[in-house]
Amino acid sequence: MSLSNNNKASIVTLIVDYDAGNLASVKRACEQVGLEAEFCADPDHLRHAQRVIFPGVGAAGSAMASLKSRGLDQALREVINNGCPVLGICLGMQISLDYSEENDTATLGFIAGKVSRFRMDRLDLKVPHMGWNEVCVQHTHPVLQGIEAGDEFYFVHGYFPTPKDNSAVLATTDYEGHFASAIGKDSYIGTQFHPEKSGRVGLRLLNNFAQWDGQC
């Protein structure tokens, strides 16, 4: 085995732990695709990460407060600036934009744009958007490789992201019109859906992320 392979095998993926929901399912799905993962709540540890998953459920306001109180916001910013591959999931994706309507919260700003609530005036559409829905890839990306037309992922959310720059929209999904269901820039990619709960296609995405060097 070459040295570089040894190095690759020793990479541990850090799952950012900031009291934003149940992270065990993300870890289990990582293990299923052979990705060694551990939880991380320490900003100094996070700063040295080589691969990061940034999950989260709950509300934007409390999530941001929790990140800041632990100094994890700054550590995340640093790893992203260093080109480390980072995968945001659900709320972890939403707070990577500039602003969320949820709790009127200023968020991390890795990607320009905002997060808005689904309109509630159409009685036939239920909020949260909960269940399986199609993800249509708009820009090819190593992490989205192999996702085909008709592939569905599992969603649970009442808010959705709108990046300012269209090139950051990697995939879209239709619910009250189209919204960005995967966004990305440089070594950061975020999904509104839950790959860890999306069966084979979700595991495939995680496997792609496990192989990704952070280059687009």
Partner 1 sequence: MLSKRVIACLDVRDGHLAKSVKFVNTQNIGDPVEKAHEYYLDGLDELVFYDITASSEKRNIMLDVVESVASQVFIPLSVGGGVRSVSDATDLRLAGAEKINVNSAAVKRPELIDECSSAIGNQNVVLSMDIQKVAKSNEIPSGYEIVINGGRSPMGLDALAWALEGEKRGAGELVINSIDADGTKDGYEIELTAMIAQAVRVPVIASGGAGLPEHLYEVLTKGHADAALVASMVHYGDYKVSELKGYLHDQRLKIRMSW
The reply to whether 90 belongs to the active site is yes
| SS3 assignment for 114-138 | EEEECCCCCCCCCCCEEEEEECEEC
Q: Which residues of 92-106 are buried (b: 16+ CB within 10 A; e: fewer)?
A: bbbbbbbbbebeebe
Which residue in the set 7, 12, 31, 117 belongs to the binding site for partner 1 (CB under 8 A)?
A: 31
In Å, what is the CA distance from 105 to each residue of 19, 61, 98, 203?
A: 17, 6, 9, 31
Residue 10 or 200 having the CB closest to partner 1: 200
Per annotation, catalytic residue among 40, 84, 90, 129: 90
Q: Residue written as tokens 């599992």?
A: 154
In the region spanning residues 143 to 162, those forming contacts with partner 1, defined by CB under 8 A, are: 148, 150-152, 154, 156
Kindly state whether residue 130 participates in binding partner 1, applying the rule CB under 8 A: yes
Kindly state whether residue 203 participates in binding partner 1, applying the rule CB under 8 A: yes
The structure tokens listed for 31 are 């293990």
Kindly state whether residue 51 participates in binding partner 1, applying the rule CB under 8 A: no
Kindly state whether residue 22 participates in binding partner 1, applying the rule CB under 8 A: yes
For partner 1, the binding residues (CB under 8 A) are 21-22, 24-25, 28-29, 31-32, 57-58, 120, 123, 126-133, 148, 150-152, 154, 156, 174-175, 196-203
Q: Which residues are catalytic?
A: 90, 194, 196
